[in-house]
Chains A and B, each alone.
Chain A
Amino acid sequence: MMQAELTKPSLATPEHPVEISGSQAVLEAFIAEGVDTIFGYPGGAIMPIYDALYDYHDRLKHILVRHEQGGIHAGQGYARSSGRTGVVFATSGPGATNLVTGLADALIDSTPLVCITGQVFAHLLGTDAFQETDIINITTPVTKWNYQVTDATEIPQVLAKAFFIASTGRPGPVLIDIAKNAQLQKFSYTGYTKCDHIRSYRPKPIVRKSYIKEAAALINEAKKPFVIFGQGVILGRAEEEFKAFIEKAGLPAAWTILGLSALPTSHPQNVGMLGMHGNYGPNVLTNECDVLIAVGMRFDDRVTGRLDKYAKQAKLIHLDIDPAEIDKNVKSTVPVWGDCKETLPLLTALVHEKKHTDWLNTFHSYTKQEHDIVIDQELHPASGEITMGEVVEALNELTNGDAIIVTDVGQHQMVACRYAKFNESKSNITSGGLGTMGFALPAAIGAKFGAPHREVVAIIGDGGFQMTLQELGTIMQAQVSVKMLILNNRFLGMVRQWQQLFHDKRYSFVDIQSPDYVQLVKAYGLEGNSVDDRKNLKEALQKMLDSKDSYLLEVMVGKEDNVFPMVPQGCSVSEIRLK
């Protein structure tokens, strides 16, 4: 073997250790874990890692973001579109604290992330050193796990643990804070071993067969069974297993917004969206079904409305990988704790083949009512201002439901989730649990890196776009193709809607002005367009989609349009309002 090869860290073994720095060990871990893209921003305390990265640029792509929050949202977008772990770099102090929103978002939406933050030298810890902040304690409530490294020899093991914890069980964000001395320290590297066991951590519970049997018996006896599913189906890579299950038992299935795209929207048993702005049938019939089967979802208050009036008549089967979710908000009759990739096929084997045609038709009759009162008007308005719904509908026609849609937070998010068509899983990326405005633009950048062959369209409101528009710089420099579709109603629309409905139209600070977005992206060397006339809409969307590069299209939509149906806060799901 050549001398040079002997010193390659990737060939290090306990018999032939190689002297490397802590920083190199971090990057070696990334390569061993199959990381290809890092979103980050350099700074003083993480400089040794960036210095090492200089020699790894042929193996690790680094995307320089414009703000660490943009970096972590991009990491989230990457993870959500690829199903892999997103990786983020930030420096100590403000760099690290800028990650907090993204960590909270990733924790509540179960997104696998490994974030590396630089930290001041270990001997300076606790001295209020320049750019020192106690990021471990700051991020403890918003990480699945975090750890501070002060000695380089710990790095291979700690990173192996980090990737294992982030991506297994119920995924989540992990933060590793590395003191600058550990990044610089040379040590005898003996190679990287992936972690597959931590004694205090059981990612996958053993499946209890007796509960599968009980669950199947309930489903087989049910007259009006109803499936509600969440992101667990996507995170468990169980889309096929899920489809086989509902098809065999003839079960109508409705989704939470994070479950969206796990089942094609055109599937005949897909009855729509749950929750506050979900569809009429799924909400009302939650309180009429006899067996409710929840798969990989956590009964968020936006889904359940008033808990003491939620599905009280139904027996509940709850499939979830996280034991803390079972019985947390809604008491289950049969808890099926486990990975739905394993539990669903077991259940499918035991359920009887059925159709439940009449029951499914009940959903369809509600859909028809919703069409008559809400949807037709929203998607095909004859006159007046452009509606958000018709933009999404036009986009559906042009993309055939093949695009990844990234949404921000607010009215446009609800409309996009309600009306966007999806054929493929991992196509709907949105901030569901935390409701982070400013999420969409950076997440779309990450989503494109996670799924480079797919079209990525970010649908964003005029408020949310202005929260993270600095990432236009990232788009420009990384030359990544992201289609930005701003639905501009010149208001912080969702808050305005609530003020209209529940605060006597006292529009308190929701009137938000926008810059000239076309001029703005032009300054970043990108093309853009703005339309306010219905007859130009489709052509403008087509032009946006045809663009090889990033493109911004602003659509001026109805200023005071509301999103309906709506389950007002504090009301039961069956009290859903159509107008």
Chain B
Amino acid sequence: MKQEYTITVYTENQVGLLNRIAIIFSRRKINIESLNVSPSEAEGIHRFTIVINEFEEVVRKLCRQIERQVEVLKAYFNTGDEIVWQELALYKVPTDEVAEKLQVERLLREFGARAVVIRKDYTIFETTGHREETDKLLAVLAPYGLIEFVRSARVAIIKASNGFHEKLKEFEAVEPASELIENEFLNKQAEVFSM
């Protein structure tokens, strides 16, 4: 069954790598639902967060193809229950319209929203949360002359992860450290990789 997977990729910070990773998906005609690139917990290492809807088997193969890239250190994939994730949304609305017709205070409380900018002509609200939550506020604001709306890509933290610091040391060792088991996924082959 196709379902939503969040892929986390640790990489070098290199021009062109975004393209190299993106074409792994586009070559197979797989749509990227959301893509975020940011620094990671380890210095100098970037972190891609990619969301796709696919079969588990396909996601496994994709992760191997991603890891095969010279500048990629590691790729993980997780289902929604294995991660904590957030998206951020911004809503620009006409101030007079909203102030007049909406109970702004209730709005802020109910949706956990924040007013980022308040001007005479417009106000910008911000929420973070899951898609449904940001969508709900969108639905509320839409009738009041919503001027602009934007939602960010997903950022996600893997619940079971201990971060990349230790892993990076292993990668940096010229001679692979004894604790570095290269094909570690083979330990739990069935659950991680079986293409």
- A: residues with CB less than 8 A from B are 136-137, 140-141, 144-148, 165, 196-202, 205-206, 208, 211, 322-324, 326-329, 331, 335, 337
B72 near A200 with CB under 8 A, answer yes
Known contacts A206-B180, A335-B186; A200 and B171 CB within 8 A of each other? yes
The 6 closest A-B pairs by CB, nearest first: A327-B195, A205-B182, A324-B64, A199-B171, A145-B70, A206-B182
B71 near A206 with CB under 8 A, answer no
Interface stretch, picked from B19-27, B90-98, B105-113, B149-157, is: B19-27
Known contacts A144-B70, A323-B67, A335-B186; A328 and B61 CB within 8 A of each other? yes
Known contacts A140-B23, A206-B181; A200 and B70 CB within 8 A of each other? yes
Residues of B within 8 A of A196 (CB): 174
- B: residues with CB less than 8 A from A are 11-12, 15-16, 19-20, 23, 27, 61, 64-65, 67-68, 70-73, 168, 171-172, 174, 176, 180-183, 186, 189, 193-195
B19 near A140 with CB under 8 A, answer yes
With both chains docked as a complex, state the minimum distance between the C-beta of A1 and any C-beta of chain B, in angstroms: 33
Residues of A within 8 A of B168 (CB): 199
Residues of A within 8 A of B65 (CB): 324
> What is the chain A residue whose CB lies nearest that of B23?
A141
Residues of B within 8 A of A144 (CB): 70
B194 near A327 with CB under 8 A, answer yes
> What is the chain B residue whose CB lies nearest that of A136?
B16
Which residue of A148, A197, A331 has the most chain B CB atoms within 10 A of its CB atom?
A197
With both chains docked as a complex, state the minimum distance between the C-beta of B13 and any C-beta of chain A, in angstroms: 11
A500 to B64: give the CA distance in the assembly, Å: 41
- Apart from A205-B182, A206-B180, A327-B193, list 8 A-B contacts with CB within 8 A: A145-B71, A196-B174, A201-B71, A208-B181, A323-B64, A324-B65, A335-B183, A337-B186
6 contacts between A and B (CB under 8 A): A140-B16, A148-B15, A200-B70, A323-B183, A327-B194, A335-B186
Residues of B within 8 A of A324 (CB): 61, 64-65, 67-68
> What is the chain B residue whose CB lies nearest that of A322?
B68
> What is the chain B residue whose CB lies nearest that of A206?
B182
Q: Indicate which residue in A137, A145, A201, A206 contacts B183 across the interface (CB closer than 8 Å).
A: A206
Residues of A within 8 A of B11 (CB): 200
A438 to B50: give the CA distance in the assembly, Å: 40
A337 near B183 with CB under 8 A, answer yes
B67 near A199 with CB under 8 A, answer no
B195 near A197 with CB under 8 A, answer no
A323 near B176 with CB under 8 A, answer no
Q: Indicate which residue in A137, A140, A200, A328 contacts B12 across the interface (CB closer than 8 Å).
A: A200
Which residue of B61, B183, B189 has the most chain A CB atoms within 10 A of its CB atom?
B183
Residues of A within 8 A of B64 (CB): 323-324, 328
A141 to B12: give the CA distance in the assembly, Å: 18
Residues of B within 8 A of A147 (CB): 16
B70 near A140 with CB under 8 A, answer no
Which residue of B15, B68, B72, B193 has the most chain A CB atoms within 10 A of its CB atom?
B68
Residues of B within 8 A of A211 (CB): 186
B23 near A200 with CB under 8 A, answer no
Residues of A within 8 A of B71 (CB): 145, 200-201
Residues of A within 8 A of B67 (CB): 323-324
B183 near A208 with CB under 8 A, answer yes
> What is the chain A residue whose CB lies nearest that of B11?
A200
Residues of B within 8 A of A206 (CB): 176, 180-183
> What is the chain B residue whose CB lies nearest that of A203?
B70
A202 near B68 with CB under 8 A, answer no
Residues of B within 8 A of A198 (CB): 70
With both chains docked as a complex, state the minimum distance between the C-beta of B149 and any C-beta of chain A, in angstroms: 32
> What is the chain A residue whose CB lies nearest that of B60?
A327
With both chains docked as a complex, state the minimum distance between the C-beta of B19 and any C-beta of chain A, in angstroms: 6
With both chains docked as a complex, state the minimum distance between the C-beta of A34 and any C-beta of chain B, in angstroms: 22
Which residue of A211, A322, A323 has the most chain B CB atoms within 10 A of its CB atom?
A323
Residues of A within 8 A of B172 (CB): 199
A165 to B186: give the CA distance in the assembly, Å: 25
Q: Indicate which residue in A145, A208, A328 contacts B195 across the interface (CB closer than 8 Å).
A: A328
With both chains docked as a complex, state the minimum distance between the C-beta of A179 and any C-beta of chain B, in angstroms: 13
Which residue of B15, B20, B186 has the most chain A CB atoms within 10 A of its CB atom?
B186
> What is the chain A residue whose CB lies nearest that of B62?
A324
Known contacts A200-B11, A202-B176; A141 and B27 CB within 8 A of each other? yes
A564 to B155: give the CA distance in the assembly, Å: 56
Residues of A within 8 A of B181 (CB): 206, 208
Residues of A within 8 A of B23 (CB): 140-141
With both chains docked as a complex, state the minimum distance between the C-beta of A199 and any C-beta of chain B, in angstroms: 4
Residues of B within 8 A of A326 (CB): 193, 195
Residues of B within 8 A of A329 (CB): 195
> What is the chain B residue whose CB lies nearest that of A330?
B195
B186 near A197 with CB under 8 A, answer no
A165 near B70 with CB under 8 A, answer yes
B16 near A137 with CB under 8 A, answer yes
Q: Indicate which residue in A136, A199, A200, A202 contacts B182 across the interface (CB closer than 8 Å).
A: A202
With both chains docked as a complex, state the minimum distance between the C-beta of B177 and any C-beta of chain A, in angstroms: 10
Q: Indicate which residue in A140, A141, A146, A199 contacts B73 across the interface (CB closer than 8 Å).
A: A199
B19 near A201 with CB under 8 A, answer no
Residues of A within 8 A of B72 (CB): 200
